[in-house]
Amino acid sequence: MNQKIFKDSNGNDIPVIYDKLPPVEEAVYRKNTWKAGTKLNDKALTLPCNIIEEKDVAATLCDGTKIFTDVFRPDNSQKVPAVIAWSPYGKEFHGMPVEGIALSGLQKFEGPDPAYWVNKGYAVLNPDTRGIGNSDGDFCQWGRQMGKDGVDFIQWVVEQSWCNGKVAFCGNSYLSMVQWFIAEQQPSALAAIAPWEGSSDIYHDYFVLGGIPNPEFGRMVFSSFRGRNSGENVASMTERFPLYNSYWEDKVADLSKISVPAYVVASYASKVHTRGTLKSYIECASEEKWLRIHNTHEWHDFYIHQDELCRFFDHYCKGIDNGWETTPKVRLSVLNPGGDDIVDRPEKEYPLFRTIQKTTYLNANDFSLSWSPVEEESLVTYQSDDSESSISFSVKFDERTEIGENMELTLWVESVGNNDMDLFVMANKTSASGISLPVEVSGAPYCVNGAAEYEWGNGHQRVSMRNSDDKPHFLEAGQIVPVKIELCPMGMIFEKGQVLTIGISGYDPQTPELPGQLSTKTINKGKHVIYTGGKYQSTLTIPVVS
């Protein structure tokens, strides 16, 4: 592969950082038939049917690159559609156990279980992408090259004797994100996609959210990749080239080009995926798209909804008239910590047309959020480089209120002792008596008693990047500026008397996604000043569902 040359805003070359990957054992083609009734281990799902497994099958892409895939298919002569799980984690890496779910052990990490899908009349393909495992070339993370490779692989799949000419993609997280880039290419044999929690814009939705570089999660993910050559290190690119440029533009899928039917799944509990998944659904141009927002963990949800996904694939990959098109276009979950969540509420659209934007006003005199403008000007400060220093503002609801989509905070700010500011925001819900009511997610890893606590309503913003993502605008001494901070989407019920609190600090209060992951580094030093009232109407806009 000839590496593409990217340019910054000044026309300078952007060298892509590639690091050598740890090696793997040599690929050896093998064929095996798993018999119905087999269990791969004591905790595994019993195989419901015979499954032909072909390991390390070589597929050649259009530029001559050879990649290797495992193929699982029915033990008969019937031509079947293919379900592809495209990812860089390896064909046999299974990840952590999924809480309360029995799987066969044939699935790849965050991918479909062949035991289920082969029994339903599909083939499952687990390729090692370019540069991963024994596949040729250097590994590319997301972007146009990965999309083109996916299209080449589709063409190889439909030429196989067992394929009926239809292909679908599914999978969670990384396996979801790549689907946007492949679908953008509009391959004719691609019948359906099922992005299960995955962004189409890694720059704005995660790695440099709000202009603050956050490479730590990406660094840990990169450490899991294996291959014979080198891999593109997006975490290192985040550190070296944090400003938006043509390199990052290549990592943003063009959703206006997607026309394939799409079944999109999101949740409110993913620090990595919530924001980008919902934005991708909204911007996806397909006229045949469905959205379901659930209230559990992504891994758990992926495997307990296989029957519904099968109905979707049956309709588009097998042409079965099963009434799928009557499925509500949108089904929402609305979280209610301290009460009962609403699950699978049918809606006609997302965002909801009946949402009303209501404005509250920050008051630094009493740390309240008021429903009317604050007349008296006031200010409050916190030490920006102290993880124990923060401020918060609260509002009590006098009637049951449903919040939907993105809250937006507008702050008038000043930095004392620095020419820039990293602002971090976190929402919290408490009872009328002041007891914290965190979001508890069932089926999550690292959970206790079947559930784990997750933060919600977070937002980040580097003040120098408030008006642009490719050029900083630093503060002058004494300068007071407004800055908008969009909070992560949420569906949340507040009962009468319950309290919404917005915390503001100079550090990321979120628990890292992975054990051992380092916190987000900031440029903060000195004091942050928040102005409210008078000519400095700092506000929180709350989308209330009527």
Please, what are the averages of pLDDT over each run of 10 residues along the chain (546 residues)?
A: 71 92 93 97 94 98 97 97 97 77 93 98 98 96 96 98 98 97 98 98 96 94 94 96 96 98 94 94 98 94 96 99 98 96 97 98 98 98 96 98 97 98 97 92 63 80 96 97 97 98 94 77 97 98 97
Q: Give the model's pLDDT for residue 209.
A: 96
Q: What is the pTM of this model?
A: 0.95
% helix, strand, coil for the chain, step of 5:
20, 35, 50
CA atoms within 13 A on the CB side of 200: 23
**Which pLDDT tens digit goes with each residue over 3-26?**
677 887 778 889 999 999 999 999
**Which pLDDT tens digit goes with each residue over 391-439?**
999 999 999 999 999 999 999 999 999 999 999 999 999 999 999 999 9
Q: Give the model's pLDDT for residue 98.
A: 80
How do beta strands 527-532 and 439-442 pair?
unpaired
Q: Give the model's pLDDT for residue 3.
A: 61
With beta carbons less than 8 A apart as the criterion, state whether 128 and 68 touch.
yes
SS3 label, residue 192: strand
Domain ranges of the chain: 6-322, 355-545
Strands, sheet with 80-84, edge to edge from the N-terminal-most edge strand: 30-34, 51-60, 66-74, 123-128, 80-84, 163-172, 190-196, 262-267, 289-294, 330-334, 342-347
Q: Give the model's pLDDT for residue 8.
A: 79
Q: Give the model's pLDDT for residue 453.
A: 75
Instruction: Please give the distance of CA 29 from its chain centroid, rounded to a whole number.
Output: 34
Domain 6-322 matching CATH 3.40.225.10: the answer reads no
Distance CA 21, CA 70 (A): 21
Give yes or no on whether 6-322 and 355-545 have one common fold: no
Counting DSSP H helices and E strands in the chain, the numbers are 10, 30
How do beta strands 390-396 and 481-486 pair?
unpaired
Q: What topology is assigned to 355-545 in CATH?
A: Jelly Rolls (2.60.120)
